[in-house]
Structure 1
Amino acid sequence: MTNARYTVNCSILLTDLPLLERPAAARAAGFDGVEFWWPFPTSTPDPDEVDTFVRAVTDAGVQLTGLNFNAGDMPGGDRGLVSWPERSAEFRANFDVVTSIGERTGCRAFNALYGNRIEGEDPARQDDLGAENLALAAQAVARIDGTVLVEPVSGAAAYPLKTAAEAVAAIDRAGETNIGLLFDVYHLATNGDDVDAARTAYADRIAHVQIADAPGRDQPGTGQAPIARWTADLLAGGYDGWFGLEYKPASAASQADPFAWLPAAERSSR
């Protein structure tokens, strides 16, 4: 069994700092991997904005391990554009810049949040569109050997993929081989999915892992989820990818040191 490789989600952690200062802060804390949700307000940001983002990552000396496609207004409740008919063109317009960032940074994992059910839209039509758009996204990132990720999500009643089985079904509808399951143990546990059973059933489909304790979505050790055991079981089962730290420091202790749970010697993958 190998040691876990941890990567810091800079869209949810280190939020006391400006976004572009967070990769360097993650490196200063001992990590050499970072991941981001979509860091721009539109699908097609100005090239200068993209250059500035790429420099912030590369100058910090960290590896970009994961990047979301544009998922809309996340604070406002959006959870992706993949199956949203009115914004399908916006999702597709995102492919070139996502792939370019991946090419420039070495990032090869790209999370495509599926999108909420839209009032008045036929769910079957949304799923047909979702399958088509996931396939197109996978074809776009295939030119840099990239993988599209599909994630079950909690906390959004209108989001239809709540279990690992539902996410895998969406992946299978798309029919491309470079689409994998984003196995976020917090979302799965919060939605009542059996994390152990899902890990066993879909071991060969898991392309990326994210962790946070449950309940609360704070750092491991603050809730009741067996994060250490789940991590060990994933590694023992053959998972050799990154573990994304995607949690929200809630307590005063967590806010003072969001990485206190992880010994400094275990933060670097090198």
Structure 2
Amino acid sequence: MPKFSANLGFLWPDRPLLERIDAAARAGFKAVELHWPYDVPPDAVRNACADHDLVLLGLNTAIGDTGKGEFGLAALPGRRADFETSLDQAITYARASGASSIHVMAGVVAANDKAEARRVLAKNLALASERAPDVTLLLEPINQRDKPGYFYSTIGEAVSLIEEIGAPNIKVMFDVYHVGVSEGDILKKLEKYLPVIGHVQIAAVPSRAEPDEGEIAYPAVFTELDRLGYEGWVGCEYRPRAGTDEGLGWINALGISLQTMTG
């Protein structure tokens, strides 16, 4: 059975970040991952994780101008300086907090800018790989239903960039929820892309709630990850139907024990 991490961007959203770290430890998780923790000092996050013997996995680069709906900067033409600022912020925070990966957010791009945006993204990712050789850089395709216009929505698009750049520290964030909504065929894609998968995330399709409902048979996904020899973490990045603690019954429903979750 894979080992599971708590995504604190979505879980326990009613609490400050440090209290979410406490809650994840009480629930039995042994790793956490973040979205945008930048308003909390990185040493406070590092210390909170150390107090609970939690592994800190990753965080995201800045979202950009929310008023313009950017949702990331790495693929946006004309925003190189702003991307570099966000990249340096993420690298500095990751190193200070103990995080081992950064999700480099591409952003929303107009259809007629897509070709130029790809060139921009490739250059920015090459820069990022050089500046942070000690950090895993994750590329996450996001489905077009949830985020229309996001630069990529399929695993193949992200992998083509990884192959073009050729940097060993650039990997795919295989979010089963996004893959399920965008393209399906989850098990075959896990097998095909395993060598470039740096992290896996889960949530129900189509609701993005706890992974005990909907179209994806997660026990089959976990069995396949075991068969393939996947050694990384599986991030629980779902939106709880109600309270996070009340919704943790999915762990037992899917036959996962806290002992297994500790990895």
Fold shared per TM-score above 0.5: yes
- Selected match of 1:124 from 90, 106, 115: 115
Question: In the alignment, which residue of structure 2 is the partner of 1:9?
Answer: 7
- Selected match of 1:200 from 191, 194, 202: 191
Hey, what's the Cα distance between the residues in 2 that align with 1:107 and 1:231?
25
Moved more, 19-28 or 59-68: 59-68
Hey, what's the Cα distance between the residues in 2 that align with 1:52 and 1:89?
29
Contact persistence 1:8–1:35 (CA under 8 A): yes
1:92 equivalenced with 2:89 (yes/no)? no
From the superposition, tell whether residues 225 and 77 of structure 1 become closer, same or farther in structure 2 (CA, over 3 Å).
farther
Q: Select the structure with the greater relative contact order (CA < 8 A; seq sep ≥ 6).
A: 2
Question: In the alignment, which residue of structure 1 is the partner of 2:29?
Answer: 31
From the superposition, tell whether residues 4 and 74 of structure 1 become closer, same or farther in structure 2 (CA, over 3 Å).
farther
Aligned structure 1 segments of 4 or more residues deviating by more than 4 angstroms: 73-76
Shift of 1:236: 1.2
- Selected match of 1:140 from 119, 126, 131: 131
From the superposition, tell whether residues 29 and 50 of structure 1 become closer, same or farther in structure 2 (CA, over 3 Å).
same
Give the secondary structure class of the aligned counterpart of 1:258. helix
Hey, what's the Cα distance between the residues in 1 that align with 2:57 and 2:260?
17
Report the structure, 1 or 2, having the larger helix content.
2
Hey, what's the Cα distance between the residues in 2 that align with 1:200 and 1:264?
27
From the superposition, tell whether residues 29 and 38 of structure 1 become closer, same or farther in structure 2 (CA, over 3 Å).
same
1:52 equivalenced with 2:41 (yes/no)? no
Paired positions, count: 256
Question: In the alignment, which residue of structure 2 is the partner of 1:230?
Answer: 221
Give the secondary structure class of the aligned counterpart of 2:56. strand
**Mapping 1:52-201, distance limit 5 Å:** 52-72=44-64, 77-118=69-110, 122-142=113-133, 144=134, 146-154=135-143, 155-201=146-192
CA RMSD of aligned residues (A): 2.2
From the superposition, tell whether residues 129 and 61 of structure 1 become closer, same or farther in structure 2 (CA, over 3 Å).
same
Q: TM-score, normalised by structure 2?
A: 0.88
Contact persistence 2:45–2:97 (CA under 8 A): no
Deviation digits for residues 232-256 of structure 1 (CA, Å, limit 9, x no counterpart): 2022112100000000012x4x645
Contact persistence 1:21–1:56 (CA under 8 A): no
- Selected match of 2:259 from 246, 249, 265: 265
Contact persistence 2:75–2:151 (CA under 8 A): no
From the superposition, tell whether residues 73 and 55 of structure 1 become closer, same or farther in structure 2 (CA, over 3 Å).
farther
Deviation digits for residues 110-152 of structure 1 (CA, Å, limit 9, x no counterpart): 1112111147x6322111110011111111220x2x2111011
Residue 111 of structure 1 aligns with an amino acid whose one-letter code is: H
Deviation digits for residues 68-113 of structure 1 (CA, Å, limit 9, x no counterpart): 1223256974321111124322221233343333334442221112
Hey, what's the Cα distance between the residues in 1 that align with 2:8 and 2:17?
7
Q: TM-score, normalised by structure 1?
A: 0.86
1:213 equivalenced with 2:207 (yes/no)? no
Contact persistence 2:42–2:96 (CA under 8 A): no
Shift of 1:226: 1.1
From the superposition, tell whether residues 77 and 59 of structure 1 become closer, same or farther in structure 2 (CA, over 3 Å).
farther
- Selected match of 1:249 from 200, 218, 240: 240
Gaps of 5+ in 2: 252-256
Contact persistence 1:213–1:222 (CA under 8 A): yes
Hey, what's the Cα distance between the residues in 1 that align with 2:167 and 2:120?
15
Hey, what's the Cα distance between the residues in 2 that align with 1:30 and 1:256?
11
Gaps of 5+ in 1: 42-47
Deviation digits for residues 40-83 of structure 1 (CA, Å, limit 9, x no counterpart): 37xxxxxx833334334334431111211223256974321111
Give the secondary structure class of the aligned counterpart of 1:208. strand
Give the secondary structure class of the aligned counterpart of 1:85. coil
